[in-house]
């Protein structure tokens, strides 16, 4: 049962290519390079009343490139960096599966790997999120599709990650150079973006 009265709005952020440069299967702090402006962008989102939730496909776990423990360690390091910059991240969800390339228990046609909406739906339930008031920022078509499938009202593309395809740009509700450009647009034009 969803309690409408205490619903929160959230910004759902993909990780690789949105928060940090996507160098491919990033699993160590030394390879985790924050994209400039990310901390400032998150502060703007919080200022606008959003909670910040990270949703990330981590098929590197399924493929055996790194373990869930490795992911957890890097995740804690990342959260510490956010904290040092006075940014509170509400939660992080990750999908460790892959339907084809997964090994052992990780070979799974799950409902959490984007473009499936599982991680967003789980966050919605655990944190009582109003998806109609929420926003997603991703760098790939699968991010945008996951957001739309889950029922997130506005799904934006940022161009700091994967090469942007026409299909991806068409499906997104807007494209921005980076996360800071997005948060600045929302801050400057809350009516246009309905925030």
Residues that bind Mg ion (CB under 5 A): 14, 16-17, 139, 161
**Residue 14 a catalytic site member:** yes
CA distances from 132 to 128, 150, 173 (A): 12, 10, 14
Question: Nearer to Mg ion by C-beta: 8 or 55?
Answer: 55
**Residue 70 a catalytic site member:** no
**CB of 157 closer than 8 Å to CB of 36:** no
Least distance in angstroms from the C-beta of 137 to Mg ion: 10
User: Looking at beta carbons, which residue is closest to Mg ion?
Assistant: 17
Least distance in angstroms from the C-beta of 161 to Mg ion: 5
Question: Nearer to Mg ion by C-beta: 36 or 190?
Answer: 36
Least distance in angstroms from the C-beta of 80 to Mg ion: 21
Element (H, E) at 55: strand 50-57
Question: Nearer to Mg ion by C-beta: 51 or 57?
Answer: 57
**CB of 43 closer than 8 Å to CB of 186:** no
Residue 149 phi/psi, 5° resolution? -65, -35
Element (H, E) at 92: strand 91-95
Q: What amino acid positions are annotated as catalytic residues?
A: 14, 16
């Amino acid at each position: 049962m969803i309690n409408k009265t205490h619903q929160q709005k959230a910004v759902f952020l993909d990780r690789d290519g949105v928060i940090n440069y996507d160098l491919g299967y990033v699993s160590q702090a030394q390879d985790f390079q924050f994209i400039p402006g990310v901390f400032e962008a998150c502060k703007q989102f919080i200022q606008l009343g959003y909670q910040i939730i990270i949703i990330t496909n981590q098929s590197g776990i399924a493929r055996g490139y790194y373990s869930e423990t490795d992911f957890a360690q890097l995740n804690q390091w990342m959260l510490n960096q956010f904290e040092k910059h006075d940014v509170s991240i509400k939660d992080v969800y990750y999908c460790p599966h892959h339907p084809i390339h997964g090994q052992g228990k990780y070979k799974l046609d799950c409902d959490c790997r984007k473009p499936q909406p599982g991680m967003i739906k789980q966050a919605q339930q655990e944190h009582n999120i109003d998806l109609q008031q929420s926003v997603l920022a991703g760098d790939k078509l699968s991010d945008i599709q996951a957001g739309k499938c889950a029922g997130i009202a506005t799904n934006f593309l940022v161009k700091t990650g994967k090469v942007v395809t026409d299909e991806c740009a068409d499906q997104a509700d807007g494209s921005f150079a980076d996360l800071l450009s997005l948060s600045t647009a929302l801050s400057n034009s809350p009516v246009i973006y309905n925030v």
